[in-house]
């Protein structure tokens, strides 16, 4: 089982929460016209796979805190140290939405189109992308870069919607 991940841009977390509340947490890029400008991806979670793209861009080693993020959905209180009391708790079932640090947006937006193939060649060497081909991942990286440029140009933040 893999994670579905959608990256999108929005003015602020409040507008994201309001939109998700109307859609019962469903993807803002899902059925019907998308509410936000975004990119549908699969298995490109922000903590590992997107962070590996950021590491490839910056030419640094991946580390767990490379992509800083703040959870904005679910909005219910975070379960205590013993975990959630109910298996239907949204912290267990998802979906989850996080706001990415603006530095992530800026790093992606600064990538020149001509650099994408070289960056992707480094990115697909990651163990977590084992079997991924550069020619398949290049359009994904290019779309994320373009989304980041649009977000930067509009002074918006990047968000990741994820579910299992």
Q: Is 84 part of a structural domain of the chain? A: no
Q: Is the pLDDT of residue 77 over 60?
A: yes
85-106 confidence digits (pLDDT tens): 666 666 677 789 999 999 999 9
Q: Is 85 part of a structural domain of the chain? A: no
Q: Is the pLDDT of residue 1 over 60?
A: no
65-75 confidence digits (pLDDT tens): 999 999 999 88
Q: Is 101 part of a structural domain of the chain? A: yes
Q: Is 129 part of a structural domain of the chain? A: yes
Cα of first residue to Cα of last residue in the chain, in angstroms, is: 7
34-72 confidence digits (pLDDT tens): 789 999 998 899 999 999 999 999 999 999 999 999 999
Q: Is 16 part of a structural domain of the chain? A: yes
* Cα dihedral across residues 83, 84, 87, 89: positive or negative: negative
Q: Is 70 part of a structural domain of the chain? A: yes
d(CA 94, CA 88): 9
d(CA 73, CA 159): 11
Q: How many domains in the chain?
A: 1
Task: Tell me the pTM.
Answer: 0.90
Q: Is 46 part of a structural domain of the chain? A: yes
CATH of the domain at 43: 3.40.1760
d(CA 147, CA 114): 16
Q: Is 18 part of a structural domain of the chain? A: yes
pLDDT at residue 110, as a whole number = 98
Scanning the structure block, which residue is given the tokens 């060649």?
A: 121
98-154 confidence digits (pLDDT tens): 999 999 999 999 999 999 999 999 999 988 888 889 999 999 999 999 999 999 999
Q: Which domain holds residue 155?
A: 4-28+36-77+90-163
d(CA 33, CA 142): 22
């Amino acid at each position: 089982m893999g994670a579905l991940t959608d990256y999108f841009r929005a003015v602020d977390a409040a507008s994201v929460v309001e939109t998700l509340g109307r859609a019962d947490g469903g993807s803002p890029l899902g059925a019907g016209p998308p509410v936000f400008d975004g990119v549908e991806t699969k298995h490109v979670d922000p903590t590992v796979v997107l962070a590996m793209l950021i590491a490839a861009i910056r030419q640094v080693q991946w580390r767990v805190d490379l992509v800083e993020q703040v959870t904005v959905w679910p909005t219910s209180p975070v379960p205590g140290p013993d975990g959630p009391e109910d298996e239907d708790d949204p912290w267990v079932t998802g979906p989850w939405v996080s706001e990415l640090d603006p530095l992530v947006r800026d790093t992606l937006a600064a990538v020149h189109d001509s650099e994408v193939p070289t960056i992707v060649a480094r990115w697909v060497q990651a163990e977590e992308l084992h079997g991924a081909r550069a020619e398949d991942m290049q359009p994904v990286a290019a779309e994320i870069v373009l989304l980041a440029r649009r977000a930067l140009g509009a002074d918006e933040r990047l968000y990741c919607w994820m579910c299992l």
